[in-house]
Structure formats: structure tokens, C-alpha cells
């Protein structure tokens, strides 16, 4: 399974080389800490090999299943992102820079699985909620929304200023 997301550096020709990968449930199962458990994504890698480096442009498109922060139901969230990696050759492997990878000259392939995982997660917004339908109505689970409204503090009576920011989040949604 680990060889599925490998760029074979030793066979790259000068100029552009293209690679395509599919990402599904099996990919996310490789990462036990992943908050994404399934999805269908297409990865297109354009590798531009120069004399001293390789420039990778990585496009990821598709959809992942995430948990709604409001109603806790799963929903499909579209992912579309473009990322770049620059591969240079040096004496030893160094991945301290998030964009530049130093590889020893004797390495002949690059496993991009971890990079794909990170790019996908970074493409997710901080707040993940069901999108509104064509009428502007939330497509969240209506039963859960009713329960939230039932227990939502109305603001009548005494107010604790520490909770005002959280109340505003509920009102905005």
C-alpha cells in the first residue's frame, strides 16, 4: 500500500512528467489520527525536472466526508487545492522546510503520501458545517438543530460576559 503514492525520480525525463493518483478510504486508513475517514479524490502531479531540481505541482480535487461542527452528522465537503514542492539534491535528507525537500543523490523515489495527507487537511476550513440549500436554509439535521435551539440560552435575565462570544456563534449559524 505504501508504494501507491510514489514519484519515481530516477526515471523522470528532463521537462514535464505527469502522474495521477486516486485517493479513497484506504488512503485515510493509513493515518490512524485522521479526522477524515473516507473520500474520493484525484491527485495530479506535474513534475518539472530541471538540471538541479524537480518542481512538483500537486493538484487535488474531489470530496471528503467530514463531521458537521453544528449537528455532528457526516457530509461531503469539496476539496480543490494546488500545492508545490521543490526537490533539491544534497548530502542528506532534510524536510525541515515545508516546501523544499533535500534528498541525497542516491534516492530514486519520493513517497508523497504524507504530503498529500497534509495538503488535504489544510484545504479544510476551520469551521465545517453543512451548506445551506438553494433557499438559504441550513441542511443540518433538523432534529439536532431543534435540540440546540431548545438548550440555547436566550440572553434574558443575567448575562455572563465570558459567554457572549459563544452566543454570537450560535446566533450567526
Judge whether 19 and 7 are in contact, CB under 8 Å. yes
> What is the pTM assigned to this prediction?
0.80
- Encode pLDDT of 121-141 as tens digits: 999 999 999 888 888 888 888
**pLDDT higher than 80, residue 114:** yes
Q: What's the whole-number mean pLDDT along residues 41-46?
A: 97
- What's the chain's average pLDDT? 87
Amino acid 90: pLDDT: 78
3-state helix vs strand vs coil in the chain, percent to 5: 25, 35, 40
**pLDDT higher than 80, residue 54:** yes
pLDDT band at 51 (very low <50, low <70, confident <90, very high): confident
**pLDDT higher than 70, residue 172:** no
Using DSSP, how many helices (H) and how many strands (E) does the chain show?
4, 7
**pLDDT higher than 60, residue 1:** no
- Encode pLDDT of 64-107 as tens digits: 999 999 889 999 999 999 999 999 987 777 776 778 888 888 88
Amino acid 124: pLDDT: 95
Q: What's the whole-number mean pLDDT along residues 8-34?
A: 92
Q: Which residues contact 69 (CB under 8 A, 6 or more apart)?
A: 127, 128, 129
**pLDDT higher than 70, residue 62:** yes
Per the listing, cell 516546501 goes with 99
Q: Which three cell numbers stand for residue 132?
A: 445551506
Q: Which region, left, alpha or beta, applies to residue 155 given φ > 0 means left and ψ of -120 to 50 means alpha?
A: left
Amino acid 42: pLDDT: 98
- Rounded CA gap, 167 and 148, in Å? 12
Amino acid 105: pLDDT: 80
**pLDDT higher than 90, residue 59:** yes
Amino acid at each position: 500500500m505504501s508504494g501507491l503514492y510514489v514519484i519515481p525520480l530516477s526515471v523522470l525525463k528532463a521537462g514535464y512528467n505527469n502522474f495521477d493518483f486516486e485517493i479513497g478510504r484506504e488512503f485515510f486508513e493509513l493515518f490512524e489520527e485522521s479526522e477524515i475517514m473516507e473520500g474520493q479524490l484525484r491527485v495530479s502531479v506535474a513534475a518539472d525536472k530541471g538540471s538541479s531540481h524537480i518542481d512538483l505541482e500537486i493538484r487535488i480535487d474531489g470530496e471528503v466526508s467530514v463531521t458537521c461542527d453544528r449537528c455532528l452528522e457526516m457530509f461531503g465537503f469539496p476539496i480543490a487545492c494546488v500545492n508545490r514542492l521543490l526537490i533539491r539534491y544534497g548530502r542528506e535528507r532534510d524536510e525541515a522546510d515545508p516546501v523544499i525537500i533535500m534528498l541525497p543523490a542516491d534516492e530514486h523515489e519520493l513517497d508523497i503520501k504524507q504530503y498529500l495527507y497534509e495538503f488535504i487537511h489544510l484545504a479544510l476550513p476551520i469551521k465545517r458545517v453543512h451548506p445551506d440549500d438553494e433557499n438559504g436554509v441550513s441542511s443540518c439535521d433538523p432534529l439536532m438543530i431543534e435540540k440546540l435551539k431548545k438548550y440555547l440560552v436566550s440572553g434574558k435575565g443575567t448575562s455572563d460576559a465570558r459567554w457572549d462570544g459563544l452566543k454570537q456563534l450560535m446566533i450567526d449559524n
